[in-house]
Amino acid sequence: MPTPDRFRLDGQVVLLTGAGRGLGRAMALSYADAGAKVAGASRTRSQLEETADLVAERGGEAISIAADVTDPAAVEAMVAETIDRFGRIDILMNNAGGGAEGDGAPLEQLTDEQWRWGIDMNLTSQMLCARAVLPHMTERSDNRGGVIINVASGFGLRGGRDNWMYVSAKAGVVNFTRSLAVTYGPAGVRTNCIAPGIFPHTPQALERWRGGRYIPIGRVGLAWEMGPLAVFLSSDAAAGISGETIAQDGGGLAAIGPTGWAPRVRLTEPT
């Protein structure tokens, strides 16, 4: 098979959580470009429908599933709807997550409810989705297995000042990924993890992170950059890669503090 063909996902089905905006939307578009059918899920249907429209504009196929991925029953229903529509799930992209109320405050002010919600949103949700999807991957008649990709964070590989639930949950995602790879690899399921660095979604967030000038490549991440990595890890081109965590952070984890080096760059997408 020619090398470029190994990156194709023609006819495969990806269940992508957190697909309504940001990195999730960018990955949905990349999956569609690679030939996959996209089942996009998030809490907000209007955002999902915007993503599905963008996929359709690129000639792809997508459905929208409004779901709370912290609710076991909702996750089971999400998986069932995907199977009903497409007949199978080849790829689970566990992308949903985010900051939680209570992060940024002193630990002694943190409530039990805040702790539970932050862990549920960023770790338990990924367990629920994997648990629901795995039987459909391991019991396939064609023995193809499947691919699971969990999204962690650079903060899952280091600490953060007054950062409690997010760093704890994302660190859990890293080792959850390894355990999935060890346990279900013999059944043909590859599991890997992506640890994004700084990907601001607003001008205010960009300013907060000072434009990323302390990052070795001299800038923050661009949403589109997550898509090609997700496609690669989902494809046969990565057939020998499992149990790994790949940082998409411009070299941020390579240094403890600012490098002082900021090359001239343009924050533009490639044409």
Q: In which order are the strands placed within the sheet that holds 13-17?
A: 62-66, 37-42, 13-17, 91-94, 146-151, 189-196, 245-248
Is residue 244 a contact partner of residue 258, using CB atoms and an 8 Å limit?
no
Distance between CA atoms of residues 144 and 133, nearest Å:
14
Distance between CA atoms of residues 233 and 207, nearest Å:
31
Is residue 47 a contact partner of residue 20, using CB atoms and an 8 Å limit?
yes
In the three-class reduction of DSSP (H, G, I as helix; E, B as strand; rest coil), residue 229 is classed as helix
Is residue 18 a contact partner of residue 97, using CB atoms and an 8 Å limit?
yes
Residue of 249, 31, 57 whose CA lies nearest to 156:
249
In the three-class reduction of DSSP (H, G, I as helix; E, B as strand; rest coil), residue 117 is classed as helix
Is residue 244 a contact partner of residue 192, using CB atoms and an 8 Å limit?
yes
Is residue 35 a contact partner of residue 104, using CB atoms and an 8 Å limit?
no
Distance between CA atoms of residues 47 and 183, nearest Å:
35
166 in active site: yes
Q: Which residues are part of the catalytic machinery?
A: 166
